[in-house]
Amino acid sequence: MAGWFKIDLWKRVIAALVVGLAVGLGLRYGMGAEAGGAFAETWIKWIGDLFLRLIRMLIVPLVFFTLVSGIIAMGDPKRLGSLGARTLGTYLGTTAIAVTLGLIMATIFQPGASLTPDTFANADGSGLEDARARADAAGGLVDRLLNIVPTNPIEALASGNILQIIFFAIMLGVGILMAGKIAEPVAKWFDGASEAMMKVTIIVMETAPIGVFGLMATVMATKGLGVLQSLGTLAIALYLACVLHMIFTYGFGIIKGVLGLPVLAFFRGITDAQAVAYSTASSSATLPVTITCAEENLGVDKAVAGSVLPLGATINMDGTAIYIGMVALFGAQAMGIEVTLSQYVLVAVMATLVSIGAAGIPSAGLLLSGAALTQVGIPEAQAALIIGFILPFDRLLDMMRTMTNVTGDAAVATAVAKWEGELDEGVFRADDNLSAHVDDREKPVPS
Ligand code: ASP
């Protein structure tokens, strides 16, 4: 048993995925679609359902606590100092571009369109009318915007109204910062609560291999292989959006366009951090390498790197923002829901805010995308099913969005350092001529 937990979680998830796939297809083609499907519904489905309930349990407290503590972290003068406004402005600006790009890609590629709405219907077939009715009932833009403000925050928490929860979390975070010294214990408490929720998430994720097995076997037995096409399209759309964002927004936009620095030197300088981000799928775990790359290869001053990068690893997640917007549209396409212009805007705002709240750990973005799914009118139960449907494949998607998140942190750190006059351009440009690996930094630097 101990040996089981020693294997990386993602490897266990992939193994479970393969076994679930084989068992589900075995049932479908061995017993026949009808009998195999019925067998899976009776004997295996509950395993996936249990896992989905665990995920649903996480969403509200995870959003609430991580967002309040995220806001508190932003205002911590020790972390931000005089760099504050610029850093936050650049973070938000790039995230807005990211989320727009994600929505455009998801609209072009239509990853959810190949699914039929009944993929995510409840067992009794309900859930779909409910989704459409909710989408219709949500009203016009003014009503929707008004509805962001909760009249009773406790009710918002209890009913899981994510936008209202986000609004209240931001207000509370700001209030705690404004109250200053007297509210320090509360700030600490929220930090602790958000850490604790992250641990609860980790416990739940430990059950993912079993849940993934249940979900996969049931989907394959009842729906067959065809449903995988949609996930392939989702992966292509996400990879493309992330690559475009890294090259054009960070590379040619910030590094070359705004700062006038060589693009290649930037990417060579952060290769190590990108590789670690891609393989760990965690911005937080990558942070030490990101800091080293920024200081040693990009010439970012220690104080800037030490304040801007930890903050970025917590709140600047462009890859995650791209993804959350995409998942919302994926769900809407699968459920056959028309997304109106005002919903696009709200999904974009939601994706930006949720990406700020997301923790830099594997799969955080997917778990929180439930918030954006409910925004296009998808009921919570179906949102959990959609998350459960994507989850077995999330690792591959997570690796790419984490790499994007980390690249964004490094680009913003470079920009802030340059604006503050704390960028050693000799070191940055040296990478034009030299190999940029962290351990090569002893080499002489031509100026
Ligand atoms: N794994 C991502 C990160 O650490 C967050 C996410 O799941 O999108 O940056």
The pair of structure tokens assigned to 180 is 């200053």
Condensed to tens digits (0 to 9), the pLDDT of residues 129-173 reads 555 555 555 555 677 678 889 999 999 999 877 778 878 988 998
Beta strands in 299-373 (DSSP E): none
Q: Give the C-alpha distances (Å, rounded to integers) separating 39 from 50, 197, 386, 392.
A: 17, 36, 22, 21
Q: Which of 280, 317, 353, 367 is the best mutation target for the ligand 1 pocket, counting ligand atoms within 8 Å of the beta carbon and taking the most? A: 317
Q: Is residue 12 part of a domain?
A: yes
CATH number of the domain at 339, please.
Answer: 1.10.3860.10
Pocket of ligand 1 (CB under 6 A): 281-283, 317, 320, 358, 360-365, 398, 401-402, 405
Q: What's the gap in Å between 277 CA and the centre of ligand 1?
A: 9
Which atom belonging to ligand 1 lies closest to the Cα atom of 405? 9
Q: Which of 287, 267, 288, 286 is nearest to 277 (CA)?
A: 286
Q: Is residue 440 part of a domain?
A: no
> What pLDDT is attached to residue 57?
85
Q: Is residue 171 part of a domain?
A: yes
Q: Which of 208, 230, 218, 209 is nearest to 24 (CA)?
A: 218
Q: Is residue 443 part of a domain?
A: no
Q: Is residue 282 part of a domain?
A: yes
Q: Is residue 441 part of a domain?
A: no
List average pLDDT for each run of 10 residues in the chain, which is 447 residues long. 77 86 92 89 91 81 82 66 72 93 94 80 54 53 78 92 82 91 95 88 85 88 84 95 97 95 94 87 85 91 81 87 95 90 87 82 85 84 86 88 96 92 90 47 44
204: containing domain? 2-435
Task: Please tell me what DSSP assigns to residue 445.
Answer: -
Beta carbons of 439 and 302 less than 8 angstroms apart: no
> What pLDDT is attached to residue 140?
59
Q: Which of 320, 352, 367, 387 is the best mutation target for the ligand 1 pocket, counting ligand atoms within 8 Å of the beta carbon and taking the most? A: 320
Q: How far apart are CA 126 and CA 24, in angstroms?
A: 24
Which atom belonging to ligand 1 lies closest to the Cα atom of 320? 8
Per the document, the length of the chain is 447
Task: Please tell me what DSSP assigns to residue 297.
Answer: T
Q: Is residue 97 part of a domain?
A: yes
> What pLDDT is attached to residue 247?
97
> What pLDDT is attached to residue 261?
95
> What pLDDT is attached to residue 367?
85
The total domain count for the chain is 1
Q: Is residue 444 part of a domain?
A: no
